[in-house]
Amino acid sequence: MGKAISKSGPVRALGAMSGTSLDGVDVAVLNTDGQQILGFGETGYRPYSDAERAVLRAALGKWTGPEVVAAARVVEDAHIAAMRDYREVDLIGFHGQTLAHAPRLQGTLQVGDGAVLAQALGRPVVWDFRSDDVALGGEGAPLAPFFHHACARYIGAQRPLCFLNLGGVGNLTYVDPRLEAPETPGALLAFDTGPANAPINDFLLARRGVQMDEGGRIARDGTVENGALELFLAEPYFSRLPPKSLDRNDFPEMIGLVTELSDADATATLTAMCAAAVAQGMQHCPEAPERVLVTGGGRNNPVLMEMLRVSLDCAVEPVEAVGLDGDMLEAQAFAYLAVRVARGLATSAPGTTGVRACVGGGIVSTADGESVDQRHAS
């Protein structure tokens, strides 16, 4: 089974994240007791090849079938390759790859078997973080907010602030660091703001055969089509109160709204849609935040960042401004959550996912083939 995880004290955990942008596997070491961040360790990145990415794209939106089986194999192999050199860790947090997410209908699907990773890597692996939350009435997403709360206290924040993750989908976490425990009512509010990089990436892959708008260069040359933007913001999702979550492909009509535009105008409009969705979401914050710290690939798009600064009434900065790593925050989050699961602590709450009660969910698989469901609610 590897070294047993003690009930208290620091744990050296390795977290892994493969997001909806389908770029690759981020891995990061975190030292934590499951409550405080005690230090950050080494990080790594293993990109997907074009062939692997094609397998994953073919499985998006599917719940079963050969495409899903093939995607799971790609995810497992890539994660094993990304994590095999990290020997001095006690525990691994494995998110897997989200292929479909419909919490009020079929549920949520992240492929990749943590038991396979545990046997290959010789370490306990915590995985299947979302299913228990959904089973108890939650959205199953976002799950990083408990870690965001720990980050806010780690950087010494004294006033409410927001973490904004701009990956394939955008999600916002409002944090009140004056409240010590993340599960305390009012400490957190979290939800998906709307599509972020995914529609931009999908559009440019179809139009130009490129993976993204590198540095916002294409959007910078374009003009936003306000009519398309207004139609986008009329979607019922934006009038729903949080917590709420999205699947990567929940706004397929976005591409249709810009199909007749030039590449530059369409990219500028899709970028503006992402920023406008965030601005709409900020209205749900219970108190005006002091700042918004941006993580994920979107923070590297200066056009998107400028749109956010224009539309929000507070400072908008990449998380690097406070000494955090915007490329690795999600991987670090699942290292943190893995320790919480192993120690029987909550990983989501009514304010983060809409779950009926605080829940700590996940399966712990060990190198000797044992798997234990650590689900609990309070």
What integer pLDDT is reported at residue 377 of this predicted model? 56
What is the predicted pLDDT for the residue at 168?
87
Do the beta carbons of residue 11 and residue 329 sit within 8 Å? no
Is residue 192 a contact partner of residue 277, using CB atoms and an 8 Å limit? no
Q: Which amino acid is at 228?
A: A
| Ordered mean pLDDT values, 10 residues apiece, the chain (378 residues) | 66 94 94 98 97 96 97 98 96 96 89 97 96 93 96 98 94 97 96 94 94 96 98 94 86 92 98 98 96 96 98 97 96 98 96 94 90 68
Angstrom CA distances, 76 to 18, 43, 51, 114, 188, stand at 11, 19, 15, 8, 32
Question: DSSP assignment, residue 265?
Answer: H
DSSP string across 70-110: HHHHHHHHHHHHHHTT--S-SEEEEEEEEEEEETTTTEEEE
The whole-number pLDDT of residue 88 equals 94
Please tell me the predicted confidence (pLDDT) of residue 376. Answer: 58
Instruction: Report the pLDDT value the prediction gives residue 378, as an integer from 0 to 100.
Output: 57
**Residue 354 near residue 104, CB atoms below 8 Å:** no
Which residue segments constitute the domains of the chain, with CATH numbers given? 11-140+334-377 (3.30.420.40), 156-322 (3.30.420.40)
Spell 274-283 as b/e; 16+ CB within 10 A means b: bbbbbbbbbe
Q: Are 299 and 169 in contact (CB under 8 A)?
A: no
What are residue 294's DSSP bridge partners? 164, 318
**Residue 248: C-alpha distances to residues 22, 57, 95, 181 (Å):** 11, 11, 16, 30
Q: Which residue has the tokens 């709409």?
A: 280
Per-residue confidence (pLDDT) for residue 2, from 0 to 100 = 44
Q: Considering the entire predicted model, what is its pTM?
A: 0.93
Phi, psi of 42 (to 5 degrees): -70, 160
For residue 364, which phi and psi values (nearest 5 degrees)?
-105, 115
Q: Encoding tokens for residue 290?
A: 């002091």
Query: What integer pLDDT is reported at residue 158 of this predicted model?
Result: 96
The reported pLDDT for the residue numbered 1 is 38
